[in-house]
Amino acid sequence: HSVTIHEAGPMVGGMMRFGIPTYRLPRDVLDAEAQRILDLGVKLELNRKVTNIEQSMTEGGFDAAFLAIGAHIGKRAYVPAGEAARILDAVSVLESMEGEEKPLLGRRVVVVGGGNTAMDVARTAKRLGATDAVVVYRRTRERMPAHEFEVEEAEEEGVMMRWLETIKQVDGGKVTVEKMELDEAGFPQPTGELDELEADSVVLALGQEADLSLLEGVEGIEVDDGVVQVGSNMMTGHPGVFAGGDMVPAERTVTVGVGDGKKAARHIDGWLRGEAYEPPPKHEVIGFDQLNTWYYADAPRTVQPKLEIERRRGTFDEVVSSLDESNALYEARRCLSCGNCFS
């Protein structure tokens, strides 16, 4: 099939480029992966925002479309603030890191939220020179949606965590927070006890949502709680329009997004040919009794290289590196020695 990508921005990558810091995903790796796709013959049109999917399909003569617009809009919350308060959203801060002028966050930065994006912003602030990067989260660490390793690495780099607190007011360089406590059901409740933090900027990391304006007026499209509903074949309620990634109900990770694209491609191919794609049956889950545990006991473990703390605080170099060629080959051989996955 002839495939064309319409990219609204000046560079490819979407949320991988504008939502994941370079210390987690080096841009040379991202660019190389994108180039591999373009080398297949895929056509790329940058700065080409689709405002109406039906109109774009008609004008371009497209028989099908796959929508993967990501969640580029940061959710906002009302925070009482004075005129001098500097309140930003996390998505905009991370996106601006791809431009020539880096965001000016100041020396004291307060980040509100408990997800991976909150960790990313706080760690980015430290790398930009912030002396104090504080994450304020209204629940406990155990209920934090961020990955545990993200929290641990942030703490290693000097990010401070303030659990069971919420922002009440921002006035100039002062942030008023209220301490919370969990009720019997595990939900945070205000205590009335206030504290004050100094901050040059406050960054809200309260989640993201997709801009679905390109689907307005399209028959059959069902949107529930900000995401587009799709069938098992990844197609929306409008024939020929498929969707995946952050804009459909799923875990918002790169792995899931890539998987949605591959799955949708197979179903689009079947739909264009007039025959439903039937995925092959998956192999049974391999149990512990089927593993060659003797091999793992004798073989040395390979560990991914990790950047030392001091360099992490001052640079955007990759924190956890990939295995080098020799170690990757060794791990592949160790995997193949089991063979149960292929039986």
Q: What is the mean pLDDT of the chain?
A: 89
Share of the chain above pLDDT 90, in %: 68
Q: List beta partners, residue 306.
A: 320
Length of the chain in residues, anyone?
Answer: 343
Residue 337 pLDDT > 60, yes or no? Answer: no
pLDDT tens digits for 59-77? Answer: 999 999 999 999 889 888 8
Residue 286 pLDDT > 90, yes or no? Answer: no
Residue 295 pLDDT > 70, yes or no? Answer: no
Q: What is the mean pLDDT of residues 268-277?
A: 95
Q: What is the mean pLDDT of residues 140-154?
A: 93
Report residue 4 as tokens. 């064309």
Comparing C-alpha atoms, which of 128, 69, 121 is closest to residue 95? 121
Residue 184 pLDDT > 80, yes or no? Answer: yes
pLDDT band at 173 (very low <50, low <70, confident <90, very high): confident
One-letter amino acid of 25: L
pLDDT band at 100 (very low <50, low <70, confident <90, very high): confident
Comparing C-alpha atoms, which of 190, 111, 265 is closest to residue 257? 265
Q: What is the mean pLDDT of residues 83-90?
A: 84
Residue 326 pLDDT > 70, yes or no? Answer: no
What element of type H or E holds 266?
helix 254-273
Largest Cα separation within the chain, whole Å, is: 66
Q: What is the mean pLDDT of residues 122-132?
A: 95
pLDDT band at 330 (very low <50, low <70, confident <90, very high): low
pLDDT band at 161 (very low <50, low <70, confident <90, very high): very high
Using alpha carbons only, what angle is made at residue 132 by residues 127 and 135, rounded to the nearest 5 degrees? 95
Question: Which SS3 state, helix, strand or coil, does residue 235 take?
Answer: strand
- The pLDDT of residue 343 is 46
pTM for the model: 0.84
pLDDT tens digits for 217-258? Answer: 999 999 998 999 999 999 999 999 999 999 999 888 899 999
* pLDDT top residue among 172 and 9: 9
Q: What is the mean pLDDT of residues 111-131?
A: 95
Using alpha carbons only, what angle is made at residue 152 by residues 154 and 194, rounded to the nearest 5 degrees? 65
CA–CA dist 139, 43 (Å, integer): 46
Question: Which SS3 state, helix, strand or coil, does residue 222 take?
Answer: coil
Residue 331 pLDDT > 70, yes or no? Answer: no
